[in-house]
Amino acid sequence: MTDDKLAPTLLCHLSELPLLGSKGFTLQGKALFAVRQGERVFVYENRCPHRGVPLEWVADQFLDSSGRLIQCATHGALFLPESGECVAGPCVGQSLRQLPCRVSGDQLWLD
């Protein structure tokens, strides 16, 4: 395992993550967040590709008002939850760094 990879880690129980919601985490000094869109869950590094800043300005608030897109609080860039691709804002075409995760029962794991 290289230094930039994390060991499989329990992030949270799905009951802690609303159906259209998000939640931030810090693991081994890395800022991450999970986004849930119904039964699908995605995990990303909490770092905007445009400026390298954290995406949220309020804890666990990574989504726009519709709950369907990830939004950078610094400049309003919008990202697709399923791929992390920026679809609006100054970093269109760039992507968030997605991390492998899995749901097992009621638990979300970072792989």
Structural domains of the chain, with CATH? 9-110 (2.102.10.10)
What is the value of pTM for the model shown? Answer: 0.91
Query: What pLDDT, on the 0 to 100 scale, is given for residue 91?
Result: 93
Q: What confidence category does residue 7 fall into, taking pLDDT thresholds of 50, 70 and 90?
A: confident
Query: What does each C-alpha distance from 109 to 6, 29, 39, 97 come to in angstroms?
Result: 11, 17, 14, 17
Q: What confidence category does residue 8 fall into, taking pLDDT thresholds of 50, 70 and 90?
A: confident
**Looking at the predicted structure, is the pLDDT value of residue 5 above 70?**
no
Which parts of the chain are beta strand (E)?
9-13, 20-27, 30-37, 40-45, 70-71, 78-79, 86-88, 98-99, 101-104, 107-110
